[in-house]
Structure 1
């Protein structure tokens, strides 16, 4: 079917589907896409979310932050409210391509539940909303870069939770894209140095060291194992055993 769909991206295409066991064929109209990467990415996230839910027996939520730009900010909010309502949270910033929204991400992760809104006939919601109710564990790797470096340094500096994985990419000195030559060439130069509490100026060319180093080996990749995620789950569950998640109080008795 591949060659038959060439040139059909974005256009309605009718497919005739013949049941393998016999019977009348059925017809379906689909609109092919020109790039399957977004679909594969969302499947990757869904698989890891389901894995975290299963391994933690539903106690831990999972979020992946692919970048610190508009797409990453949108990705967080696809599932944020549902995932932070669980007892703990695993925040995966592996492969994070950087950007400029790490401050917003950190603000969400640093929220602390100080109250509850209990509406009549509905489940209580935390105050502030979208706040983790228990431990937060971050997962990073060598492809977490730029603002993806910074977010891990901030998580450590603010004491939000441990970082699991491998040392991040190590590139936080920013550039402008303002200067063009007459032939259209873009000229950049290092311009924005970055100092971080606990790291000083040392993130550039080094990265952020994880609190717990876990290396994913080629054998792990080949076997479909994710030891970094496994360790993050273990740490979050261990933290829950010592400090249970916050839950809404019972309503007072009527007087």
Structure 2
């Protein structure tokens, strides 16, 4: 990623929306806040839970700063944690369930473009299926998803990319990743002339001063 983006973009892989996926998001997203933008790779996402938390974090907008007198005087942003530049998500046909819902929410929140191929379309809840007496378990669909307009959505349809990119076997054999390459290209294009820069600390405010012309006795 550093080579492709010239060190400007963060890369965060999201293998699922369960414990491992949340751990990966927290570990790599927050550790790369110095980057100008981020590519989120949710290809082959095995699902799990609804990843509202990830969407909430990525939706943060910068509201201001607190000045700092420590080290290099780099100000603190508020919210404190975030990547404030463009965001791009890579999806594919082997991402499903929570891996369908994550790009659905990403798109609904207008966080950035989706790159790759249509997701699997297996968004359905399987909760409330108790274990059997012999330790086995039956998994059955229990909850379908419908949108804010009251229409069934995503299941059986998947989420289509904004820019379709096929992983051509010839290029993969050559060690390339066409979907990742396109995601980086799109993110860098969005960065042109729009890179986030921390605001420098302004001059100290004047809270009180003697009136102009005042002379002490």
TM-score class normalised by the smaller sequence = 0.7 to 0.9
**Contact 1:153 1:199 (C-alpha < 8 Å) held by counterparts:** no
Q: Distance in 1 between matches of 2:167 and 2:149?
A: 26
Deviations 1:162-201 (A, max 9, x none): 0101001111111135345555553333211112469942
Deviations 1:1-42 (A, max 9, x none): xxxxxxxxxxxxxxxxxxxxxxxxxxxxxxxxxxxxxxxxxx
Where 1:99 maps in the other structure, the secondary structure is coil
Where 1:231 maps in the other structure, the secondary structure is helix
**Contact 1:140 1:210 (C-alpha < 8 Å) held by counterparts:** yes
Deviations 1:87-146 (A, max 9, x none): 111111111111115111111111111112331124233211222211100011111111
Q: 1:101 to 1:83 in 2, by over 3 A?
A: farther
The alignment's C-alpha RMSD in Å is 2.1
The number of aligned residues is 203
In structure 2, the partner of 1:246 is 196
Instruction: Pick from 11, 19, 22 the counterpart of residue 70 of structure 1.
Output: 19
Instruction: Pick from 100, 108, 113 the counterpart of residue 157 of structure 1.
Output: 108
Structural mapping, 1:124-139, within 5 Å: 124-139=75-90
Which stretches in structure 1 are left out of the alignment for 5+ residues? 1-51
**Contact 2:50 2:102 (C-alpha < 8 Å) held by counterparts:** no
Q: Distance in 2 between matches of 1:76 and 1:58?
A: 19
Higher helix share: 1
In structure 2, the partner of 1:39 is none
Instruction: Pick from 3, 23, 29 the counterpart of residue 80 of structure 1.
Output: 29
Structural mapping, 1:154-193, within 5 Å: 154-176=105-127, 178-180=129-131, 185-193=136-144
Where 1:235 maps in the other structure, the secondary structure is helix
**Contact 2:75 2:201 (C-alpha < 8 Å) held by counterparts:** no
**TM-score of the two chains, using structure 2 as the length reference:** 0.85
**Contact 2:47 2:98 (C-alpha < 8 Å) held by counterparts:** yes
**TM-score of the two chains, using structure 1 as the length reference:** 0.73
**Deviation of 1:150 (Å):** 0.3
State the structure with bigger RCO (CA 8 A, min sep 6), 1 or 2. Answer: 2
4+ aligned runs moved over 4 Å, structure 1: 180-185, 197-200
Which has the larger displacement, 178-187 or 95-104?
178-187
Structural mapping, 1:138-149, within 5 Å: 138-149=89-100
**Contact 1:133 1:246 (C-alpha < 8 Å) held by counterparts:** yes
In structure 1, the partner of 2:211 is none
Q: 1:188 to 1:67 in 2, by over 3 A?
A: closer
